[in-house]
Amino acid sequence: MSTATETPKPHLLELLWRAAPETGRGPRKGLTVDEVVAAAIGLADAEGLEAVTVRRLAQSLGKAPMTLYTYVPGKAELVALMLDSLFAGMDPTPAADRPWRERLAAVARDNYALYRAHPWAAAASPSRPPLGPGQCAKYERELRALEGLGLDDVAMDDALAYLLAFVRTAAQDAAQSEAERASSAMSDHEWWEANGPLLAKVLDTERFPTAVRVGQAAGEAHDAAYDAEHAFAFGLERTLDGLGALIRS
């Protein structure tokens, strides 16, 4: 005991930057952190983040469940690693020397595409992802799309965070509405057949005149009650307009 050299559990940052101090004692490692993370991403892409359990992941790697805790301290850290790996693997559409609106639109669309390709990421991604190498490269690249517009450094960060939050939410909503549609086991027609009568009784135009009118118009315009792609397109224009007003001032 005494003042023994306690290994204080690997910090998340060390994991993200792969800066763990290797000692070389004991049996050979059968895996690497990257293999574990890659397998987890594959599993999440195929079956969703809730399918990424320690057991499933270990099975897909041919190891016992507890083995994974050698590579990753816990599930939260695993998700952080998965996210940073995604960010590191983005290939951005080049848009330098284009007008600012195109540059920012490209940033937005790249992020949207990423989240649509990996729907679990939008839900898992916190507002400020941990400072891994992927996140840092992404931050650097995206900030450059905002330079030369007369914004000071703080405003650049604010503007980027604002844009990215919009994209993340839009992608999350899209994925969610898609998942609901897939898992509902009820077609729109069946749903209306089941719930239409009650809704008609309860949504009288006396109490909710505007809601009924607008809701019906919106429902007919998009043929679903909620068209996620349209919401993204609409929101992107508004967001860029809003940032444009800031840039002009």
From the list DNA, a copy of itself, none, which binds 240 (C-beta under 5 to 8 Å, kind-based)? a copy of itself
Binding of a copy of itself by 234 (CB under 8 A): yes
DSSP string of 128-160, one letter each residue: S----HHHHHHHHHHHHTTTTSS--HHHHHHHH
In the complex with DNA, the residue whose CB is nearer, 79 or 106, is 79
Tokens of residue 185, six digits: 């086991």
H or E element that contains 210: helix 209-221
- Dihedral, CA of residue 238, residue 111, residue 107 and residue 101, to nearest 10: -20
Query: Least distance in Å: CB of 32 to DNA?
Result: 10
Query: Least distance in Å: CB of 6 to DNA?
Result: 10
From the list a copy of itself, DNA, none, which binds 242 (C-beta under 5 to 8 Å, kind-based)? a copy of itself
Buried b (16+ CB within 10 A) or exposed e, 43-77: bbbeeebeebebeebbeebebeeebbeebbeeeeb
Q: Is the dihedral of CA 35, 93, 162, 114 positive or negative?
A: negative
Which residues, 2 to 21, sit near a copy of itself by CB under 8 A?
11, 13-14, 17, 19
Candidates 59, 60, 67, 177; binder of a copy of itself (CB under 8 A) is 177
Binding of a copy of itself by 49 (CB under 8 A): no
Distance CA 63, CA 211 (A): 55
Candidates 168, 190, 200, 206; binder of a copy of itself (CB under 8 A) is 168
Q: Is 27 helix (H, G, I), strand (E, B) or coil?
A: coil
Binding of a copy of itself by 100 (CB under 8 A): no
Contacts with a copy of itself by CB under 8 A lie at 11, 13-14, 17, 19, 126-128, 131, 133, 136-137, 139-140, 143-144, 147, 152-154, 156-159, 161-162, 165-166, 168-170, 172-173, 176-177, 180, 194-195, 198-199, 202-203, 207-211, 213-215, 217-218, 221, 225-226, 230-231, 234-235, 237-246
